[in-house]
């Protein structure tokens, strides 16, 4: 089933002239660049040394997906349900690269930083059958600044996702991103948060969790 999903936004036209080929190999990916475009098979690792995904960037075909028996949030007959999938929704690359984009581009909001405030924000977004991202929704925010920062980062992230798929084909899916904002490498979720939003603290594959901390002179 996974070999039938064609990622049409990967396919590009070859340029005329001498091709410049470069091999790229690091902790998150392994493949070749031709004229700065990904070509052929690329391997992606969500964890060091553990292959999670292989995509042929010349044909747009998925070659390998790590087996996943978890349930994901997908839309069936107009309703959001938890269901097993043939292929889970996945960032087109390593999940670690997606987290790196968030961490490298985040700015700790200056008002809560000046007042030594830490906190959390959670934003959900949908991935349609073609891998397009839309319908961002703030579902938790202790401080408005945190939610606005996370929302802006998710909207700015490269919109390259592999859609979830069941036996009949691709289906819409939903991801929830929970981001903690700490100061000087210190962050602890408030107890009441776990009572008010218990589902956010469960270990679910469709809930991405990350903590970032800002350095501030003591």
Domains for the chain: give ranges and CATH numbers.
1-67 (no CATH), 68-218 (3.30.2420.10)
Over residues 174-194, mean pLDDT:
82
pLDDT for 3 equals: 45
- Residues of the chain above pLDDT 90, percent: 69
The residue-averaged pLDDT of 168-186 equals 92
pTM for this model (two decimals): 0.84
Pull the structure tokens for residue 97.
């690269």
pLDDT at 8 (0 to 100): 52
Burial 72-95 (b: 16+ CB within 10 A, else e): bbbbeeeeeeeeebbbbbbbbbbb
- pLDDT tens digits for range 3-59: 445 565 555 444 445 678 899 999 999 999 999 999 999 999 999 999 999 999 999
State pLDDT tens for residues 67-112.
Answer: 999 999 999 999 999 999 999 999 999 999 999 999 999 999 999 9
Residue scoring higher pLDDT (48 or 186): 48
CA 4 to mean position of chain CA atoms: 22
Cα–Cα dist 92/44, whole Å:
9
Tell me if residue 103 falls in helix, strand or coil: helix
Q: What per-residue confidence (pLDDT) applies to 198?
A: 73
Which residue carries 């042929």 as its tokens? 56
Least confident of 92-96, 122-126, 138-142, 155-159: 138-142
């Amino acid at each position: 089933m996974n070999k039938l999903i064609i990622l049409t936004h990967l396919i590009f036209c070859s340029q005329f002239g001498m091709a410049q080929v470069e091999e790229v190999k690091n902790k998150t990916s392994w493949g070749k660049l031709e004229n700065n475009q990904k070509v052929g098979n690329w391997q992606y690792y969500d964890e060091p040394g553990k292959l999670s995904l292989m995509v042929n960037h010349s044909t747009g075909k998925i070659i390998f997906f790590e087996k996943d028996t978890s349930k994901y949030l997908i839309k069936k007959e107009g309703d959001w349900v938890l269901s097993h999938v043939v292929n889970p929704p996945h960032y087109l690359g390593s999940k670690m690269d997606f987290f790196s984009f968030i961490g490298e581009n985040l700015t700790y909001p200056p008002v809560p930083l000046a007042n030594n405030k830490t906190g959390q924000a959670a934003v959900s977004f949908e991935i349609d059958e073609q891998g397009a991202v839309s319908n961002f929704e703030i579902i938790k925010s202790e401080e408005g600044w945190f939610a606005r920062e996370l929302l802006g980062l998710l909207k700015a992230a490269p919109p390259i996702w592999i859609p979830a798929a069941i036996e009949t084909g691709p289906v819409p899916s939903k991801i929830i991103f929970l981001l903690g904002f700490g100061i000087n490498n210190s962050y602890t979720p408030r107890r009441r948060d776990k009572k008010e939003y218990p589902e956010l603290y469960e270990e679910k594959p469709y809930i991405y969790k990350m903590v970032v901390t800002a350095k501030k002179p003591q």
